[in-house]
């Protein structure tokens, strides 16, 4: 039976992501969502409003957005699971968008409630654009400068979602840590950590997540908020891209290895055990064997729960195009494979640590073929579990589960009654 489950896990690994969050959204990391129609949900006593409906997207266009038309790879138990998003390459001529930059904050965001296809998990964009200008990234040119919503408007949307029965909210942005509350009243301005905590205190909300973070703007106050507010999930996605300070400088990442590790130390010093995931790029122009070795050593030093890895792919009109010492495709593939192999060893060990522990999962559906329920933990782990009794479970409910086994990308458990 265990062997059958392991084989099934291998088949399903390509569809599992620590940032994807339901059976219907089991897609590769960084895949593009599609617009589709969906009935409007309305707040209690409220009239129907026009809604923008999208399929769930594991994460917004932030870190590595410029690489999305290339294949993305998730560390898996067997061969690398590779899937192209099918996105067309960025236009040859990129012109920085300034029209949005000059608009009032309220003009930059949808003010009407946005319904999603998952009736229990809601997404709220709190910031758009990016000011970082990483050497490989097109986001600042295509999304414009950073623009934040008022914290009051974010909280109003969170309360409306709670009224509609949503119990989990994810705050989104190219760089949520750069959030700057444009509220005119200084006494009502909130930092990102304060906004995160406030959303977590909305009645009816049981879980709050956020993505994506940039290490330069990641503050200790975010960790303090996670410690202080029980509804904030025990997971931080902190993209690093490379373990080499020299390469980070060439990438224009605005931090070095030591500064990144300082932030990791803050997370590891939290009162709660927080899982850490990241993004990495291999084969950036000029990356030497020594640089790559530093990236591998970073895997060992941090002990990531999951890694989203990419081969560098040049994008038109980005600064990295001017760099010399391009790495061959063959060498980039070799380095990617080596990184995945190292991370798999780390991941297997980290997932085994959960065996024998109890986790509360948000139920996301039932796999009739495998006679299992699937849920997600506060650490953003997929937990497939069975029940020896007739259980009254449905998507969106919460259940206690004893972890009895582990795979490189998921956990196995038994419902506790």
Number of neighbours of residue 119 by Cβ within 10 angstroms: 16
The verdict on 29 and 114 lying in the same domain is yes
- Whichever domain contains 411, its CATH number is 2.40.50.140
The verdict on 338 and 363 lying in the same domain is no
Which residues are 172's β-sheet partners? 125, 211
pLDDT of residue 253: 98
d(CA 408, CA 75) in angstroms, rounded, equals 8
Residues 339/340/343/348 CA torsion (nearest 10 deg): -160
Could you tell me if residue 287 is inside a domain? yes
User: Cα angle at 278 between 227 and 215, to 5 degrees?
Assistant: 65
Strands of the sheet containing 207-211, edge to edge, are 121-125, 168-172, 207-211
The verdict on 319 and 388 lying in the same domain is no
- Residue 238's domain comprises 24-349
The verdict on 362 and 251 lying in the same domain is no
Look up residue 417 and give its two tokens. 């009654």
SS3 192: helix
pLDDT of residue 112: 54
Residues of the chain predicted below pLDDT 50: 1-61, 65-107, 111
The verdict on 342 and 373 lying in the same domain is no
Q: Which of 295, 314, 349 is the last residue of a domain?
A: 349
Reported as type and span, the H/E element at residue 302 is helix 289-302
Q: Please tell me what DSSP assigns to residue 32.
A: P
Contact at 8 Å (CB) between 62 and 211?
A: yes
- Write down the pTM of the prediction: 0.77
Q: What share of the chain is helix, strand, coil (3-state, %, to 5)?
A: 30, 20, 50
The verdict on 331 and 370 lying in the same domain is no
Q: Residue 40 to residues 43, 56, 153, 257: CA-CA distances in angstroms?
A: 10, 16, 20, 46
Instruction: List CB contacts of 59: < 8 A, sequence separation 6 or more.
Output: 19, 29, 30, 172, 211, 212, 237
The verdict on 385 and 247 lying in the same domain is no
d(CA 236, CA 243) in angstroms, rounded, equals 18
pLDDT of residue 14: 30
Contact at 8 Å (CB) between 326 and 353?
A: no
d(CA 136, CA 350) in angstroms, rounded, equals 31
Q: Which residue has the tokens 């968008």?
A: 97
**Number of folded domains that form the chain:** 2
pLDDT of residue 63: 60
d(CA 290, CA 324) in angstroms, rounded, equals 17
Q: Which of 328, 349, 370 is the last residue of a domain?
A: 349
């Amino acid at each position: 039976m265990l062997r059958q489950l392991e084989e099934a896990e291998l088949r399903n690994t390509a569809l599992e992501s620590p940032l994807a969050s339901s059976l219907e959204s089991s897609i590769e990391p960084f895949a593009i969502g599609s617009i589709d129609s969906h009935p409007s949900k309305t707040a209690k006593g409220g009239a129907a409003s026009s809604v923008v409906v999208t399929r769930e997207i594991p994460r917004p266009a932030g870190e590595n957005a410029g690489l999305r038309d290339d294949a993305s790879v998730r560390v898996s138990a067997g061969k690398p699971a590779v899937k192209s998003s099918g996105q067309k390459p960025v236009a040859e001529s990129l012109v920085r968008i300034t029209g949005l930059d000059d608009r009032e904050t309220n003009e930059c965001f949808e003010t009407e409630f946005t319904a999603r296809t998952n009736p229990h998990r809601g997404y709220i964009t709190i910031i758009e654009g990016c000011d970082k200008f990483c050497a490989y990234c097109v986001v600042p040119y295509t999304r414009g400068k950073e623009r934040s919503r008022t914290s009051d408007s974010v909280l109003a949307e969170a309360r409306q979602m709670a009224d509609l029965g949503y119990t989990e909210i994810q705050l989104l942005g190219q760089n949520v840590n750069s959030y700057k509350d444009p509220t005119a009243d200084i006494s009502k301005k909130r930092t990102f950590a304060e906004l995160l905590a406030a959303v977590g205190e909305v009645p009816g909300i049981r879980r709050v997540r956020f993505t994506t973070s940039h290490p330069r703007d990641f503050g200790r106050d975010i960790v303090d908020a996670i410690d202080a507010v029980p509804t904030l999930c025990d997971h931080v996605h902190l993209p690093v891209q490379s373990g080499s300070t020299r390469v980070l400088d060439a990438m224009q990442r605005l931090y070095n290895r030591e500064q990144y590790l300082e932030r990791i130390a803050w997370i590891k010093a939290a009162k709660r055990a927080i899982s850490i995931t990241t993004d990495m790029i291999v084969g950036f122009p000029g990356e030497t064997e020594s640089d790559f070795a530093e990236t591998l050593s970073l895997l060992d030093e941090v002990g990531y729960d999951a890694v989203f890895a990419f081969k560098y792919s040049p994008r038109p009109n980005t600064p990295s195009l001017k760099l010399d010492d391009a790495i061959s495709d063959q060498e980039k593939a070799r380095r990617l494979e080596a990184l995945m192999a190292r991370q798999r060893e780390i991941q297997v060990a980290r997932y085994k640590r959960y065996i024998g522990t109890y986790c509360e999962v948000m139920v996301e559906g039932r796999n009739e073929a495998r006679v299992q329920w699937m849920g997600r933990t506060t650490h953003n782990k997929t937990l497939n579990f069975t029940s020896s009794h007739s259980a009254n479970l449905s998507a969106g409910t919460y259940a206690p589960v004893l972890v009895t086994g582990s795979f490189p990308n998921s956990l196995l458990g038994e419902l506790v009654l």
